[in-house]
Amino acid sequence: MRGLSGGPRSGPGRVSVRAAVPVVAGAVAVAVLLSGCTAGGTGARDEGPAHAESVTAPAASPSPSVSSAKASGRVDAVRLVKNDPQVSAEVKRELKPCVADEYPVDVSYGDLTGGPAEDIVVNVLTCGDAVGVGSYVYREENGGYQHVFKAEEPPVYAEIDRGDLVVAKQVYEKDDTVSVPSGENVITYRWTSGRFVEKYRTHNDYSNAVGTGPSPVPDS
C-alpha cells in the first residue's frame, strides 16, 4: 500500500461511519445528538497533494468543551466537528453530504488519554477521492468533549495503534503526480502530562523504496 491509498487501515477500536445528520448552526454548547445512520467504510483513500496551509500540531491546551449527548458509546461525529471552534472553516466546508445525507467521516474509539471514557478520533475526508483533510481527537470531560489534537494539512489520516495516536501524511515533491507521491511521514504521538507529545517519526521514500526506522524524539 502506498500512502493513504487502499482504504482506511484497521486498528483497535475502529469503526467507519458516514453520519447522516442535518447541519445545525449554533455555539459549541449546543448538545450533539446521535448520528441518524451509519454505514461501513468510506471507500479507498486516494493520494492528493496538499491544498491548505494549516499547522499540524498537538493542541497545547484543550479547547472549551464541545457538548454531546450519546448512547451506546457512540457520538455524532459530524456535529462534534461542526461545533468545534478549533476546526478550520475550510474543513467544515468539506464536511458535507456526499450522497443523499451521508457524510465522509471515519471515527475510531479507543483509549489514548487514560480518561474516564473512550477517546474519539475523527477523520474528515473529501467526497470525490476520500482524501483526508482533517484529523481530530476528542477527550470526554465533565459530560462534554475537549478538543486535544488536530492535523489539517491534507492528505492526512489518524489512527489508534496500541494506545498511541499515529498520524500519516503523504509527501509530494515538485514533479509528483496526484497518484504517485514521493513518500509518506508517519508520526506517533503519546499522551504525556496532559497533551500529545511526538515520540517517533518514520519517513518512507517511495521513489527510492527506502524507509527510515522510527527515531525517538527526545523529551523536552
For residue 185, being part of any structural domain is answered with yes
Coil/strand/helix, residue 72: coil
Supply 134's cell numbers: 482533517
Which residue type is seen at 96?
Answer: K
Q: Whose CA is closest to 82, among 104, 69, 66, 71?
A: 66
More confident residue, 7 or 116: 116
Q: How many domains does the chain have?
A: 1
Q: Residue 90 and residue 173: Cα distance in Å, rounded?
A: 23
pLDDT digits (tens, 9 = 90+) for 64-121: 555 444 444 578 999 999 999 999 999 998 899 999 889 999 999 999 999 999 999 9
Please give the full DSSP string across 191-207, using - where no structure is assigned. EETTEEEEEEEEEEETT
Residue 201 reports pLDDT greater than 90: yes
For residue 181, being part of any structural domain is answered with yes
For residue 175, being part of any structural domain is answered with yes
Range of the domain at 77: 14-41+58-216
pTM (2 d.p.): 0.66
